[in-house]
Structure 1
Amino acid sequence: MGLRRLSYWQFPFVLLLLPLLLAACVASGPGATGSVSTGADPHAVEPTHAATEALQALPPLEPVTLASGEKLRVVASTQIIADVVRQVGGEYIELATLLPAGADPHSYTATPADLRTLNQAHVIFINGLGLEEAMDPVLENLEGDAVLVPVNVGVTPRSLAEEAGTGEEHGHEHDHEHGQGVDPHTWFDVRNVMIWVQNIQETLSRLDPAHAPAYQEAAERYRQELEALDREIRTAVESIPPEKRLLVTDHETLGYLAAAYGFKLVGAVLPSFSTMAAPSARELAALQEQIRSVGATAIFVGTNVNPALAEQVARDLNIAVVPIYTEELSAPDGPAPTYVAMMRYNIQAIVEALR
């Protein structure tokens, strides 16, 4: 049996009753008391494709029958998602992560072990918004009965056109080739991860209602930690003079950070949200001119990205290359083993480079 799909085209008669069904969901459905709707939505984006608009609703979720001592089998596509899921699910779930340390989600290739893990899962949490585009063929052809849940349901995505520093000449040639011009790096706004927590809590609680109180308690505790992190980041950014809050990156990763915390995006070495893009000579020249004109002092490069091209640009301009964690966490004994630690590490590195 394949993945459970959020599709009304299999049920044509539902379209005739849609207004009544929606009214009933609003009045008495689970979305009536929370900030994130969990009812089926005829406008919801198919989660296994590179979404180009907001993901509207969680898929239908039914309790899983678990044997005595059996835990809910959960898979997360990335390390960052896995850490947030772990904060909510704790000891009550069996958690696996697809992407190992140093892996690039934009160029993922499934191993036989990955396929076994996915086919045995009860639920698979993905980012959505095109981040797992390379995983789509695998996720669309699984033999198991897992439900696929994008954690970004309810998050408003940013587009390449919204990235303030890209301009007309830098950053638009690859919009339709990589990620459809939608920025999947939503976790750089901590408030978006608070929405993830809500989605994860509701998903785990519906699939495993016996442990719903524990999931709710853990989610609330973690939300408080995220609220403190959000305040901490805002305070740290205030220490940077406004005219120096300039971000240059290896690829378009920090749009949400800039919008949420008051930075200006100057540009990116790779003019795309995907690391699979390649800049033209014209784009690199335009970026270098933009960096010179605004006086940016650093290029921030993800630890999972080859820094060679960014280092070349930095040498030409005599500016620094600063490594940060963008799409992965560090090893457990490293500086960024959790999402919260990753954000603290990145903000400290950014502040020190710009202040």
Structure 2
Amino acid sequence: MMLIRRLIPFWLLLAMLAACASPTPTAAPQSRKLRVLATTTIVGDVVRNVAGDAVELSVLLPVGADPHSFTPTPQDVAKVSEADLVFANGAGLEEFLQALLENAGAADKTVAVSQGISLLQGEAHSHSAEEEHATEEQAQQPMPTTETSDAGEHDHDHEHEHAAGDPHTWFDPNLVMIWVQNIATTLSEKDPQNASSYQKNAEAYTAQLRELDQWIRQQVETIPAENRLLVTDHKSFAYFAERYGFTQVGAVLPSFSTLAEPSAQELAALEDAIRQLGVKAIFVGTTVNPNLAQRIAQDTGVQLVTLYTGSLSEADGPANTYLNFMRYNVNAIVEALK
């Protein structure tokens, strides 16, 4: 009994020491993993390849969501607010983003993975067919702002061109290599303890992207040059076309955004071009309403081919990673055009 009485103070002392050694709530953010939020499934997959298991990664948009037309919920505001970092495509792709960041007070922790890419320019689209041209200074802006492309504020005539330029940079793996370095640099600055791991992962993934680029070139060579004509649901394949030697004949929605509405004259002109140039297929993304594209395909007698454009597939689908996404699309394009 005396032994037990003597041991009690000893165990109480140990408990007190353990309590003193436990981290306080204010110190917790330093010891836990970074909470990282990616806007789209495509951005999320690239971040995952760079970050590995060193961060807690979640993706804002669900599989199959159109990043142009996505409407965030109050729960999404909370997700953004709780994140340490938010990786977005940028360049005006996520048209909902500016208002969401303001509501969540998170503008200072958001990084555009497309930062540093010289964006391709295009003509602004509206029912009045007015043209707008972005400046080079706007093209270099990392995130959509009120000076570059208003997120959530659009003219009533459905003028939806992005002032910064074409945001669909992921259709060129060489540009995704820039994404990778932006992600690795940001993670390393925010979490220096894992910087070497982030850089090593970035180098390994960049090597895979180089292999993907070479594979795409080999596949495209099997398509006769005169058949390398692209008609898509909206203007999303310019980077792919420029890199791999395709001609963009036109788009059902002649805009960088799926929120645009074409005029009857524009649709008629597209059908004439398809017939005159002998276009073999119209390519439509899984995140876009295919009705207009189906009508044009029926009118012109060409096939309608489904691609993955703004989102990866489900985990058990054929485009569940960015690398598989590109391989699936290239295989579908080659099969339709050769």
Q: Check whether TM > 0.5.
A: yes
Paired residue for 1:214, among 197, 203, 214? 197
2:288 paired residue number? 305
Moved over 6 A (4+): 168-171
2:216 is the alignment partner of 1:254: no
Q: Report the counterpart of residue 297 of structure 2 in structure 1.
A: 314
Which amino acid in the other structure matches residue 100 of structure 2?
A: V
Length, aligned pairs only: 287
Give the Cα–Cα distance (whole angstroms) in 2 for the partners of residues 293 and 208 of structure 1: 56
Counterpart of 1:130? 92
SS of alignment partner, residue 52 of structure 2: helix
1:194 correspondence with 2:159: no
Change (3 A) 1:269 1:221: same
Does the CA contact (< 8 Å) of 1:88 and 1:219 recur in 2? Answer: yes
CA distance in 1, matches of 2:113, 2:28: 23
Q: Which amino acid aligns with 2:117?
A: V
Q: Which runs of 5+ in 1 are unaligned?
A: 1-64
Residues of 2 paired with 1:282 and 1:68: CA distance?
59
Cα distance in 2 for partners of 1:248, 1:99 equals 26
**C-alpha displacement at 1:329, in angstroms?**
0.1
Deviation at 1:136, TM superposition (A): 1.5
Q: Whole-Å Cα distance in 1 between the matches of residues 194 and 264 of structure 2?
A: 56
Residue in 2 that maps onto 1:288: 271
Q: Which of 241, 259, 280 is the aligned partner of 2:224?
A: 241
Structure 2 contact 271–296 (Cα < 8 Å) conserved: yes
Query: Any idea what the Cα deviations from partners look like across 1:40-77, whole Å, max 9, x if unmatched?
Result: xxxxxxxxxxxxxxxxxxxxxxxxx7646511011111
Percentage of matched positions with identical amino acids: 52
Instruction: Name the SS for the 2:210 alignment partner.
Output: helix
Task: After superposition, give the CA deviation of every residue in 1:106-147 in whole Å (9 maximum; x if it has no partner).
Answer: 112111221111001111111111101222211123235851
Task: Say whether the 8 Å CA contact 1:123–1:146 is kept in structure 2.
Answer: no
**Alpha-carbon distance in 2 for matches of 1:319, 1:145:** 45
Aligned mates of 1:260, 1:311 — CA distance in 2: 28
User: For the residues of structure 1 that align with 2:127 and 2:311, how far apart are their CA atoms?
Assistant: 26
Partner of 2:58: 96
Q: Does 1:185 align with 2:168?
A: yes
195-204 vs 146-155, which deviates more? 146-155
2:160–2:255 Cα contact (<8 Å) kept = no
For 1:255, the aligned partner's letter is A
Aligned-CA RMSD value: 2.3
1:325 aligns with 2:301: no
The 8 Å contact of residues 171 and 271 in structure 1, kept in 2 or not, is answered as: no
Q: Secondary structure at the match of 1:158?
A: coil
Q: TM-score, normalised by structure 1?
A: 0.77
Q: Residues 145-184 of structure 1 correspond to what in structure 2 (within 5 A)?
A: 147-161=109-123, 173=130, 177-180=160-163, 182-184=165-167
| Native 8 Å contact 1:133 1:179 kept in 2 | no
Match of 1:118 in 2: 80
Structure 1 position 169, deviation (Å): 12
Quote the Cα distance in structure 1 between the aligned partners of 2:336 and 2:164: 28
Q: Secondary structure at the match of 1:204?
A: helix
Relative to 1, partners in 2 of residues 1:248 and 1:170: Cα closer, same or farther, differing over 3 Å? farther
Report if aligned partners of 1:108, 1:135 keep a CA contact under 8 Å in 2: no
Q: 1:290 to 1:151 in 2, by over 3 A?
A: same
* Superposed displacement of residue 78, structure 1: 0.6
Q: TM-score, normalised by structure 2?
A: 0.81
1: CA distance, partners of 2:234 / 2:46: 24
- Find the partner of 1:142 among 82, 95, 104: 104
Match of 1:204 among 180, 183, 187: 187
Counterparts in 2 of 1:256 and 1:110: CA distance versus 1, 3 Å: same
The structure-2 alpha-carbon separation of the partners of 1:97 and 1:319, relative to structure 1 and needing over 3 Å to count, comes to: same
